[in-house]
Amino acid sequence: MKAHLSRRYLFSASHRLHSDNMSAAENEATYGKCNNPFGHGHNYVLEVTVSGPVDEKTGMVCNLIDLDGFVCRKVLERFDHENLNTLAEFAEQAPTTENLCMRIYEIVQRDFHFAHLERVRLEETMMNSFEYAGGEGLVK
């Protein structure tokens, strides 16, 4: 029997949406106020959904302690209170929330082995959220 577990986490980070491959006018037209040279911040809501069989002994898909510990060490400590533009992950691409969502998915997919990763959802504002479930789209 397969079940899904979704867990939510909070973190804050800043970014400036900007591409060195575009002119100042192109950046302004593409990113608008989010291209502000001083950047801006968000209080992100991260949702990680994993799945797997329900363990007969524990009754769980995976232990929340394992998932929480992993996300804290590998994701929150990496991105919380950071200027995303300064991180290696975004040296060659704009730190959009779409790209951040795919990076977080990549981290969990690569290193979390207690359950199958279904998707990562990242809420940037009350009005904007982004979701990635693997496959096409991850730019390395």
98 is annotated as an active-site residue: no
Band of the pLDDT at 139, cuts 50, 70, 90?
Answer: very low
Q: Quick one: three-class SS letters along the chain?
A: CEEEEEEEEEEEEEECCCCCCCCHHHHHHHHHHHHCCCCEEEEEEEEEEEEEECCCCCCCCCCHHHHHHHHHHHHHHHHCCEEHHHCHHHCCCCCCHHHHHHHHHHHHHHHCCCCEEEEEEEECCCCCEEEECCCCCCCC
**From the candidates 18, 101, 123, 124, which is the catalytic residue?**
124
Q: Global pTM?
A: 0.93
The pLDDT confidence band at residue 140, using thresholds 50, 70 and 90, is very low
Instruction: Tell me the pLDDT tens digit for each residue of 23-47.
Output: 999 999 999 999 999 999 999 999 9
Q: What is the pLDDT of residues 53-81, one digit of tens each?
A: 999 999 999 999 999 999 999 999 999 99
Domains of the chain and any CATH numbers: 2-132 (3.30.479.10)
Out of 4, 26, 72, 81, the active site residue is 81
Does the annotation mark 18 as catalytic? no
Active-site residue, 62 included: no
